[in-house]
Amino acid sequence: MHWVRRSRRSLWVIERLTGGVPRKRERTPEFRAVHALRAGVEATLSQGVRGFGLRRARYVGLAKTRLQHVAIAAAMNLVRIGDWLAGVPIAPTRRSHFGQLVGLAGAT
């Protein structure tokens, strides 16, 4: 990595030095498979943090904190089973406003 210092900001110049190799690697099927797996894990963690308070431990000590995490995981599974039985669809991936505009422009 190479960085250029300008006043108080630092500018990282990676793409120019690597010739775009990281971007080419992102287009491979192997990378997409690993990224899809990671995206699923990140979505589960996000659901736990946003909906079940996974970020805060109510107790002091590793054993009690572990028990809390196991209880939260069980609660998340029960909520997911309940949604599945009720026929609630899984929320689609959100798109930015610009992405929505681009999709609309491509449809016409």
103 within a domain of the structure (yes/no): no
What is the structure's pLDDT at 80? Answer: 92
Number of domains in the chain: 2
Question: Is 70 exceeded by the pLDDT of residue 83?
Answer: yes
What is the structure's pLDDT at 25? Answer: 81
1 within a domain of the structure (yes/no): yes
107 within a domain of the structure (yes/no): no
Contacting residues for 58 by C-beta, under 8 A, at least 6 apart: 68
DSSP bridge partners of 4? 11
DSSP H or E stretch at residue 25: helix 21-26
My answer on whether 27 and 6 are in the same domain is: yes
User: pLDDT tens-digit profile of 21-59?
Assistant: 777 788 888 888 888 888 888 889 999 999 999 888 888
Domain membership of residue 66 as a residue range: 57-89
User: pLDDT tens-digit profile of 53-63?
Assistant: 988 888 899 99
Higher pLDDT, 89 or 2: 89
Overall pTM surpassing 0.75 (yes/no): no
My answer on whether 61 and 22 are in the same domain is: no
Start-to-end CA span in the chain (Å): 43
Neighbours of 16 (CB within 10 A): 8
Do 13 and 3 meet the contact criterion of CB atoms below 8 Å apart?
yes
What is the structure's pLDDT at 24? Answer: 79
17 within a domain of the structure (yes/no): yes
My answer on whether 46 and 76 are in the same domain is: no
What is the structure's pLDDT at 5? Answer: 54
My answer on whether 18 and 38 are in the same domain is: yes
What is the structure's pLDDT at 49? Answer: 93
Q: Report the b/e string of 45-75 with b at 16+ CB within 10 A.
A: eeebeeebebeeeeeeeeeeeeebeeebeee
